[in-house]
Amino acid sequence: MNIKRAIKTAALSMTAIMMFTVPAMAAWENYWFDVDVAEDSISEDYTRNLTKDNDDTYGYIKISNSNVSEMDKFEMSINGPEYYNYNYTGNINVGTFIGRMYPEYSQPEKPSKGQSYRLRAQTYAYYVHVDGTWEP
């Protein structure tokens, strides 16, 4: 009988852990940028607004796919919403980086939990495609 009780307790514990783990991951959002310097193209683009759900002093950006070359000048930043387009991280020169980065909120004004922010991408040289996930 003690084995059944231990299994039941373990199963309930796992269920409780899973219930609280899933919402914590929900703030990550996918992004997809296609920016270009051609006259009929967009050289700068933003994601939709995403609410910051933590008090961290840095953001999270994961670049999964990119065609950025050494000759490109491509930057990203975490900015405020349309009505207050403040750049909280400064411009981050991405280069050919693939992976996860944690840009610090290096500007005098800092983001706060519960407010909305956008991820910004801008190219200065060539057509750039970048996609991945991010969280303010």
DSSP 60-90: EEEEEEE---TT--EEEEEE--GGG--BSS-
For residue 22, being part of any structural domain is answered with no
Which pLDDT score is estimated for 22?
43
For residue 10, being part of any structural domain is answered with no
pLDDT, tens digit, 9 for 90 and up, residues 36-92: 888 777 889 999 999 999 999 999 999 999 999 888 899 999 999 999 999 999 999
Name the domain count of the chain.
Answer: 1
Segments forming the whole domain that contains residue 131: 28-135
List the CATH number of the domain containing 130.
2.60.120
Full-model pTM: 0.76
For residue 126, being part of any structural domain is answered with yes
Which pLDDT score is estimated for 111?
93
pLDDT > 60? residue 106:
yes
Helix and strand element counts for the chain (H, E): 1, 9
